[in-house]
Amino acid sequence: MSKKSAFLMGLFLAVSATGTSLLVAGFSPRQQLRLVQHGGEEAPLAPFAYLVDGTWTAQGEIPGVGSYSAERTYQWVLGGKFIEQRHVMKFQNGEIETKGIIGWDSEKKTIMAWGFGSDGGIATSSVEHATTSEIRMQGVRVGGFNAGPIRASYQKVSENEFLETAEAKKGGDWTPVFRFRFTRKSGR
């Protein structure tokens, strides 16, 4: 694997995200059930709910790396209090896998994401902005490939499509690393 491939995969590993009594319009009955399970709390993970219960795919080219295909799933876990993300990306020179957990940190009053990569890297991010149409996260990745500050944004295009953009901070500047267009392959 080339150094640039390793760098991009490391960044991707770093970026790769419970419910309430509030019923949120536009969510399936199954998703609303999960949102109800936190009786009386706000719906902190509602911005992520449209991602759950489906398989998402993306394909394209990353400059300096080549073509890729990606598959991602999100599912409610641990009694509907967290969302588990699983991501597999295949490149011409290999494959990477990440697993992540997204949850509400009641002490910090923010949504947090923890990611673990097949390269041994660990990422921790917090959500800076979250609505049902846009999510912005920022954090840091340690170990594995591409350690350092990271940030990502997710823009909902429709119930079956979203854009994900990732950046890495190098030399004091944020540098775009990739942009994926995920479409729902199955679910709901």
What was the pLDDT predicted at 27? 40
Q: What is the pLDDT of residues 80-103, one digit of tens each?
A: 889 999 999 998 888 889 999 999
Distance from C-alpha of 139 to C-alpha of 39, rounded to nearest angstrom: 30
Q: What is the pLDDT of residues 130-170, one digit of tens each?
A: 998 999 999 998 987 777 899 999 999 999 999 999 888 88
**8: which 2 tokens?**
């991009």
Task: Give the pLDDT band (50/70/90) at residue 38.
Answer: very low
- Mention every residue, 6+ apart, whose C-beta is less than 8 A from residue 19: 34, 35, 36, 37, 38, 41, 43, 45, 76, 80, 81
Task: Give the pLDDT band (50/70/90) at residue 24.
Answer: very low
Task: Give the pLDDT band (50/70/90) at residue 28.
Answer: very low
Q: Is the dihedral of CA 55, 109, 167, 92 positive or negative?
A: negative
Q: In CATH, what number does 3-17+47-187 get?
A: 2.40.128.20
What was the pLDDT predicted at 66? 82
Smallest CA-to-CA distance from 16 within 96, 80, 133, 134 is with 96
Q: Are 112 and 121 in contact (CB under 8 A)?
A: no
Q: Are 148 and 170 in contact (CB under 8 A)?
A: yes
- Give the residue extent of every domain in the chain: 3-17+47-187
What was the pLDDT predicted at 21? 24
Q: How many helices (H) and strands (E) does the chain have?
A: 2, 10
What was the pLDDT predicted at 158? 93
Task: Give the pLDDT band (50/70/90) at residue 188.
Answer: low
Task: Give the pLDDT band (50/70/90) at residue 5.
Answer: very low
Q: What is the mean pLDDT of residues 19-45?
A: 44
Q: What is the mean pLDDT of residues 36-52?
A: 71
Q: What is the mean pLDDT of residues 64-73?
A: 88
